[in-house]
Amino acid sequence: WAGTLQLASVTLWEPGEVCARDPVARENSGRRQEATSELKPEEGTCLEGGSCVQSPRSVVCGVWGGTQPEKRKGPDSEARKLRFGERASLFSEFKKTLNSIHSDVKNVSTKIPIQKTLSNFVRYINNSEDYILHYLPTVEKCNSYRWLVCLTICCLLTLILIFYLLGLLCGTLGYDQNVTPTNRGCVSNTGGVLLMVGVGFSFFFSWIVMTIVVLMFVTGGNLENLVCEPYRNKKFFQILDTPYLLNEDWKYYLSGLVFNKPDINLTFEQVYSDCKDNKGLYATLKLDHIYNVSEELNITKHTGDINSNLENMNLIINDIELLDEAGRKTLMDISSSGIDKIDYAAYINATERSPTRVNLMSFANNLQRKANQLPPGNLKTSLNDHVDTLRNIHQNQVVPLQNSMSIMHQQMKGLHHRTSRLRDRVSNIIFFLNSTQYFLTSQLAKVVIEESKQFGIKIISYFERYLQWVKMAITHQIAACKPAATALDSAVNVFLCSYIVDPLNLFWFGIGKATLLLLPALIFAVKLAKYLRRMYSEDVYEDELVHKVQTVPRVETVPMKTMSHANTRSPVEQGTQTI
């Protein structure tokens, strides 16, 4: 009783039973089961005199729509009811409002104009795809021509280089410094001729290579500086976002294209950055100018009536009497009955002793041994009969008596434990009942109203966080546009810059460098060829006179073998000799 009423005065209800729907009880579920006595009456237990003690838990259970407490058949059963005013209508409205949020969220997801806004972009992408598929065979054919042109240019430069290398090789292997120019060998002469052939090819094709280098330089360099590099540092988007650049009537071209409202600050750079961060199209394209999700998902729009009803909640509490005068008199009679003054020690000591002074089984066994030592006769038979009688007495009377005394011993100890400090326990019961009575009549209404408000606020906060999550999902997660940014990076940064512009710049730089090196190679080949080719005539100077009479030496020209031989030279040789 003391533990039960003490628990009632502190918590007033327990979850998991008839108050399983009480939110306050769920939060306070850890503060229970503190009873110190095993004497706990069931709910509705009546004391002597017809007065009943009703559990406060069953009284409060009716607050949150749980199982109503049954009417007691005692005299004060009508004074033990607790209810909310207009409770049913309040909870039905609360439930209806929370259920309507689901349909509102579903309607919001269908009203977002993402598909309508992207229709122009989808149409443009589809047209671009058709255009690419239409001209793709032509591009593949031109790509083969590009490959052939580049291969031809490389082959020409490689051919000139081969002529120079073979000329150096043959000239180095066939050169003999002790041989006169007219008597040079065939290998040396071939080296000189190959050098001059390389010089001729350089003159014939260098202007073509230089023209190609200039064209590729202009194209590749401008693409790198005007497209690729600005695209990497995002200056390209800043140029596109220049007001009135793409359209003289629109300040912001992208917002005018999407919303037909050119004054909205929607830029290419901002859209590209948001798509790189994998944000949703709603936040990226600023679709709140068309449909504002925040206003539709505002929790105050749905819970305005609920908050007002919670503020205006009224609690009607009828008179509650936990213990009447008859019950109080019964408790006082129990405390003054003297049951706690019984000499339990004497009873406990008496039940600990054996019911017989002698162990009958031991005595019967000794008597059996004595009878076995006697000769057959009436005495032996009489002793054996007494032995059987003793054993029957022990089995049928002593053993049950011992079990009964053992049970009585345990019961007396338990009774002694339960009746100790009985007066203090009864006083505590009356004190806690009075405290509980005061709490129920003065503070219960405020506590229940406050806890109801807190419970309503907590439930609303759950739905508020849910709506915030829905808003975050719609604005940042639904229709994430990172694939669009990835596709643009693949088209511009990878396909155009990495696969077209960078190889083009590398090609013209390599060809231009090779063409630039043709000039020193050409000069070197011309200067070196005259030391390797076979000459048809040579210049000879006479030695100075011994007496140095003549101051100017006389030049003697050694004629060729035949004049006709000189006139029969090929035009190529004559041109080469002239060069």
For residues 249 and 397, membership in a common domain is answered with no
Residue 344 lies in a domain: yes
Both 261 and 143 in one domain: the answer is yes
H-only helix segments in 21-112: 23-27, 56-60, 87-111
Alpha carbon separation from 509 to 6, 145, 496 (Å, rounded): 95, 20, 18
Coil, helix or strand at residue 315: strand
Distance (Å, rounded) from C-alpha 278 to C-alpha 275?
Answer: 5
Q: Are residues 544 and 524 in the same domain?
A: no
Rounded to an integer, what distance in angstroms lies between the CA atom of residue 275 and that of residue 560?
A: 86
Residue 167 CA to residue 530 CA, distance in Å, equals 12
Contacts of 107 (CB under 8 A, 6+ apart): none
Q: Are residues 138 and 269 in the same domain?
A: yes
Domain identity same for 546 and 416: no
The burial of 14, by beta-carbon neighbours within 10 Å (0-12 exposed, 13-18 middle, 19 or more buried), is given as buried
Single out the residue in 428, 444, 461 at which a domain terminates: 428
The CB-based long-range contact list for 570-578 (8 Å cut-off, 24+ gap) reads 576/193, 576/196, 576/533, 577/536
Sign of CA dihedral 15, 19, 22, 24: negative
User: Is residue 511 one of the residues assigned to a domain?
Assistant: yes
**Do residue 495 and residue 546 come from a single domain?**
no
In a domain, 46, yes or no: no
Q: Which amino acid is it at 259?
A: F
Length, in residues, of the chain? 579
**237 and 189 inside one domain:** yes
Do 420 and 378 belong to one domain?
Answer: yes
3-state DSSP assignment of residue 316 = strand
Residue 52's nearest CA partner among 433, 436, 322, 332 is 322
Last residue of a domain, one of 365, 393, 428: 428
Instruction: Give the residue numbers spanning the domain of 554.
Output: 540-578
Q: Residue 360: what residue type? A: L
Report the number of distinct structural domains present in the chain.
3
Is 38 contained in some domain?
no
Cα–Cα separations (whole angstroms), residue 119 to 123, 280, 375: 6, 16, 128
Residues 417 and 497 in one domain: no
Q: In 355-443, where does DSSP find H-type helix? A: 360-373, 378-393, 399-419, 422-442
Gyration radius of the chain over CA positions: 59
> Domain check: are 570 and 508 in the same one?
no
pLDDT at 60: 31
pTM reported for the whole predicted model: 0.49
- Is residue 183 located within the same domain as residue 248? yes
**Which residues, given as ranges, of the chain have pLDDT below 50?**
1-86, 542-579
The pLDDT, as a whole number, for residue 508 is 92
Inside any domain, residue 84: no
Domain match, 164 and 232 both: yes
